[in-house]
């Protein structure tokens, strides 16, 4: 059976589905990929960063007993240094999505990200 | 070069050998696909669907039953190598897309060219997988739909173009 490579209907099909896909992207109004990073010490908020709007990389020092250095960059936040012995917070690496958190227990500092819009519990796939 | 079809073998033997060859090709392509690096922007778990080329070929040139058999073998292979979830995904997508391709080809007047068939196959493949994923996990995976549609179109076009190239090559082995 010989089949033509491209027919006019193929183009219609392709265009139709591309438009449907693009339309759905707008329709679903995707939750932002990142959110607001909230830095807490002893359970009390000490500062927050809107990672969505963050457009440059900065580093801040927090903590008293242990010196902790946080790096805030567009769309992500991470512990880059901590004087604590276990270094779990540093090993956590960058966090960027709502629901993620990084904690330095010895310094009692935690960073968690919350969505600034209604978001979903999680994605699977 | 002598075509295989000129050799003195019974048709039945030839068709068994040919279908085995197609199944092996499909499995090889699935395996190769797993080695490729993930494509950025693509939803996790989404793949090129290279082995669809083979099921499409079988659906168009050999017949529905052999094509479905290849899709099922592909699903079992996914089950053995990547677990039950992968098997469900592969089976649902493979069987539906094979059937859709075959059905479109056997409409009174085949409405689509190879590219259109590839796109239809890829989209039905993704649709079936998405449904299974929704049943197996959470309805939230519906949020992949737009990306699955867009990538389905792109990969469908690729499938159609590749098919254009390999059809005459595989055709040399076809049995009459």
pLDDT tens for residues A74-102?
888 999 998 888 888 888 888 888 778 88
Task: Please spell the DSSP secondary structure of A52-116, one letter per residue.
Answer: TT--S-EEEEE-SSS-EEEEEETTEEEEEEE-SSS-HHHHH--B-STT-EEEETTTTEEEEEE-S
Question: What is the percent of chain A where pLDDT is above 90?
Answer: 15
Contact with chain A for residue B120, Cβ under 8 A: yes
In chain A, the number of structural domains is: 1
Q: Which of A3, A17, A121 sits opposite B119 (nearest CB)?
A: A17
Query: What confidence tier does A119 reach under pLDDT thresholds 50, 70, 90?
Result: very low
Supply the ipTM of this predicted assembly: 0.79
* Domain presence at residue A4: no
pLDDT given for residue B71 in this prediction = 94
B26-30, B45-49, B124-128: the lowest-pLDDT one? B45-49
Render pLDDT for B116-151 as a digit per residue (tens, 0 to 9).
999 999 999 999 988 998 888 777 778 788 888 998
In sequence order, the 6+-apart residues with CB closer than 8 A to the CB of A119 are: A31, A32, A35, A98, A99
Measure the N-to-C terminal CA separation of chain A; round to a whole number of Å: 38
What's the gap in Å between the CA of A31 and the closest CA on chain B? Answer: 10
Mutation for A interface: B86, B146, B157, B171, most A CBs within 10 A: B146
* Domain presence at residue A55: yes
pLDDT given for residue A113 in this prediction = 86
* Domain presence at residue A78: yes
Contact with chain B for residue A6, Cβ under 8 A: yes
Render pLDDT for B58-94 as a digit per residue (tens, 0 to 9).
988 888 999 999 999 999 998 998 888 888 888 999 9
C-alpha–C-alpha distance, residues B41 and B159, integer Å: 20
Render pLDDT for B165-174 as a digit per residue (tens, 0 to 9).
888 888 776 6
pLDDT given for residue B94 in this prediction = 92
Query: What confidence tier does B161 reach under pLDDT thresholds 50, 70, 90?
Result: very high
Q: Which residues constitute the domain of residue A44?
A: 36-114
Contact with chain B for residue A20, Cβ under 8 A: yes
Query: What confidence tier does B45 reach under pLDDT thresholds 50, 70, 90?
Result: low
As a whole number, mean pLDDT of residues A3-25 equals: 89
Whether residue A123 and residue B105 make contact (CB cut-off 8 A), yes or no, is: no
Domains defined along chain B, listed by start = 4-171 (1.10.1760.20)
Q: Count of CB contacts below 8 A, A vs B?
A: 92
Whether residue A22 and residue B43 make contact (CB cut-off 8 A), yes or no, is: no
Q: Which of A9, A25, A125 sits opposite B112 (nearest CB)?
A: A9
Q: Which of A1, A13, A28 sits opposite B112 (nearest CB)?
A: A13
The CATH number covering residue A84 comes to: 2.60.320.10
Contact with chain A for residue B37, Cβ under 8 A: no
pLDDT of residue A121 exceeding 60, the answer is: no
Contact with chain A for residue B174, Cβ under 8 A: no
pLDDT of residue A117 exceeding 60, the answer is: no
């Amino acid at each position: 059976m010989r089949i033509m490579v491209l027919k006019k209907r193929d183009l219609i099909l392709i265009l139709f589905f591309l438009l449907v896909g693009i339309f759905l992207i707008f329709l679903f109004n995707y939750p932002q990929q990142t959110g607001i990073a909230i830095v807490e010490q002893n359970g009390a908020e000490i500062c927050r960063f809107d990672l969505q709007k963050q457009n440059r990389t900065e580093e801040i020092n927090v903590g008293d007993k242990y010196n902790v250095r946080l790096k805030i960059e567009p769309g992500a936040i991470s512990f880059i240094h901590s004087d604590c012995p276990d270094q779990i917070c540093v090993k956590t690496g960058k966090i960027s999505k709502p629901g993620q958190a990084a904690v330095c227990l010895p310094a009692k500092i935690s960073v968690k990200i919350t969505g600034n819009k209604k978001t979903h519990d999680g994605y699977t796939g | 070069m002598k075509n295989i079809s000129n050799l003195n073998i019974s048709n039945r033997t030839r068709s068994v050998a040919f279908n085995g060859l197609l199944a092996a090709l499909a499995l090889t392509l699935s395996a190769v696909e797993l080695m490729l690096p993930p494509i950025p922007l693509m939803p996790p778990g989404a793949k090129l669907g290279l082995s669809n080329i083979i099921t499409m070929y079988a659906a168009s040139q050999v017949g529905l039953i052999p094509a479905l058999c290849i899709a099922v073998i592909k699903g079992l292979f996914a089950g053995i190598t990547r677990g039950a979830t992968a098997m469900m995904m592969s089976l649902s997508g493979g069987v539906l897309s094979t059937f859709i391709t075959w059905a479109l080809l056997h409409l009174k007047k085949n409405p689509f060219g190879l590219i259109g068939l590839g796109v239809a196959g890829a989209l039905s493949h993704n649709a079936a997988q998405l449904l299974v994923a929704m049943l197996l996990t959470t309805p939230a995976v519906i949020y992949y739909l737009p990306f699955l549609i867009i990538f389905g179109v792109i990969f469908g076009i690729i499938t159609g173009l590749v098919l254009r190239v390999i059809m005459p090559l595989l055709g040399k082995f076809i049995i009459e």
